[in-house]
A = this chain, B = another copy of it.
C-alpha cells in the first residue's frame, strides 16, 4: 500500500471505531436521563461489550504497523498537516491503549457502570458504606491501569495524561501553588471586606418551569442550536457530543437556588459549543475532530459560565428579563445587588455550586486524596474522615453529611481518577483566552449588554474549536494568546471583580 492508502485505511478504521464508541455515548446519555432503573445491569453489559470491542480493535497490531509505516513517510513531513497531527495523536493513544489488557478494560467498564448506580444510591441516602466496596474496586482497577501504562514519578502521572495529554503532577502542583497563594490573599480580603452581598436574593423560590424557560433562552442566545442538540435533566450535569448534528447537555434544577441550574446549564452549553464547533463533518473519528484536552474543554465551559454568565454586562441585558420571569423573588432587587448575590464568595460544600474564588480549593482537596489513594497512603474506607478533616482546614466549615462531602461527585464511581486537575487548568485557560478575546474585540462587554454572544462563539470557533487536537493544550494556549499558560490573568480577573463587589 502507498502511504496515502495506509493513511486512508487507518482513518476508515478509526471512524468505524468512533461510530461504535459514539453508540456508547448514547447508552451513557440514556442511562443518566431516561433509562428505567431496572435496566442498569443490562446496560453495564452493553457498555462493556462496546468498550472491549473498540479496545481490541484499536489495539490490533495492524494499527501499530500502519502508524510505523506512516511515521516514516512524506505524508507527515509537515507537522501541522492533518495527516501528521492524526498520526502523532493516534500513536499517543495507541501506545497507551496497547499497554492495557482487554480484560482490564472490560472489567473497568462493567465495574464503573454498576459503581455508578451504587454511588447514586449512596449519595441519595448519604450512606458511604453503600459506595465503599465499589470505591475499593475502582481504586484497585485504577492502580492496575496506572501500572499497565507505566509512569515516571508517581502513578498519578499515568492517569492524568489520559485527560490532559503531556501534563504531569509536577506541573499541576506548581500551578496550584502559585494560584493558591494569591487565592488565599484574595479570600482574606473578601472576608475582611466592608460590603457583603445579600445572597438570599438568589435563594428564594425560583419556579423550575420558569428556570427552564430562562436557561433555554440563555443557551439559545449563546448559539447552542436546539435543532442539533438537546437539554435534559439528570443527577450530575454533563455534556456529550454524540456526533455531528447531535450534541446533548444535561442539567438539574433547584427550586430554591437560581444559580445552580442557570450557571450549570451555561457551563454545559459551553462544552456543547466546543463539541459542535469541532469540524466533525470532515474529521469525525480522528484527533483533528476531537477536543484538545479536558482542560481546554473546561476552559470553554468556565468562560461561558463565569467570564460571560457572571459578568455585569451579561446581566445588564438579562436582569430585566429575569425580573419579568421571577416577578416575586426579584421584585425591588437592583442590578447591583443581584450581580453581587450571584458572585457571592463563601465556603460551601458542593463543588459544582461553588463560587469562582473557592472553586479551586475543592479541586485541590480531591487531587490530594486521589494521589494518596493511588499511592496507597489513603485507604478508601478512610476517605470520608480524610475528606472532612481537610475540608474543615481549607474551608473552615464541618461537612454535615457525606452527600455534601465525598459522595457529591460522579468521577470516582465512573473511574475518572486523574480528571479533577483539568478543572483548575480549565479555569486558568479560560482567563487567558478571555483576555485575548477582549484584546481582539474591545467592545465585547458592550456586545453582551446588547444580548449579543455570537461573535464570542465565532472567536472561540476560529481560535480554538476548529483546530481540534492539532495543538496540545499548552501549545494551543501559546498559539492563541502568544504567551505560555499563566495563573495571573485568572487572579487579576477575580481581583477586579471582587474588589468592586466587596469594596476592597
The answer to the question of A43 belonging to the interface, with a C-beta cut-off of 8 Å to chain B, is yes
Q: Chain B residues near A37 (CB, 8 Å)?
A: 227-228
Across the interface, A246 reaches (CB within 8 A) one of B39, B232, B242, namely: B39
Question: Cα distance A248–B50 when bound, in Å?
Answer: 22
One complex includes copies of this chain to the number of 2
Across the interface, A230 reaches (CB within 8 A) one of B19, B34, B41, namely: B34
Q: Chain B residues near A243 (CB, 8 Å)?
A: 39, 42-43, 45-46
A228 close to B38 (CB less than 8 A): yes
Question: Cα distance A202–B223 when bound, in Å?
Answer: 45
The answer to the question of A16 belonging to the interface, with a C-beta cut-off of 8 Å to chain B, is yes
A34/B36 contact (C-beta < 8 A), A23-B50, A242-B42 known: no
> Which A182-235 residues have C-beta < 8 A from chain B?
225-230, 232
Question: Cα distance A46–B20 when bound, in Å?
Answer: 7
Across the interface, A227 reaches (CB within 8 A) one of B19, B38, B43, namely: B38
> Which A16-44 residues have C-beta < 8 A from chain B?
16, 19-20, 22-24, 26-27, 30, 33-43
Q: Chain B residues near A230 (CB, 8 Å)?
A: 34-36
The answer to the question of A244 belonging to the interface, with a C-beta cut-off of 8 Å to chain B, is yes
A244 close to B42 (CB less than 8 A): yes
The answer to the question of A245 belonging to the interface, with a C-beta cut-off of 8 Å to chain B, is yes
Across the interface, A245 reaches (CB within 8 A) one of B27, B41, B229, namely: B41
Across the interface, A46 reaches (CB within 8 A) one of B22, B46, B49, B227, namely: B22
A46/B19 contact (C-beta < 8 A), A39-B246, A40-B245, A246-B39 known: yes
Interface residues on A, range: 35 or more
Most interface-central of A228, A243, A245 (chain B CB within 10 A)? A245
Query: Residue-by-residue, is A439-482 near B (CB-CB < 8 Å gives 1, otherwise 0)?
Result: 00000000000000000000000000000000000000000000
Which chain B residue has the least Cβ–Cβ distance from A243? B42
B227 close to A20 (CB less than 8 A): no
Q: Chain B residues near A34 (CB, 8 Å)?
A: 33-34, 230, 232
Q: Chain B residues near A36 (CB, 8 Å)?
A: 226-230, 245-246, 248
Q: How far is the CB of A344 from chain B (nearest CB, A)?
A: 36
A246 close to B50 (CB less than 8 A): no
Q: Chain B residues near A53 (CB, 8 Å)?
A: 20
B39 close to A242 (CB less than 8 A): yes
9 pairs, CB–CB < 8 Å, chain A vs chain B: A20-B49, A20-B53, A22-B46, A23-B27, A26-B30, A36-B227, A36-B228, A41-B244, A42-B284
Would you list the 7 A-B pairs with minimal beta carbon distance, nearest first? A39-B246, A38-B228, A38-B245, A42-B243, A19-B49, A23-B23, A39-B245
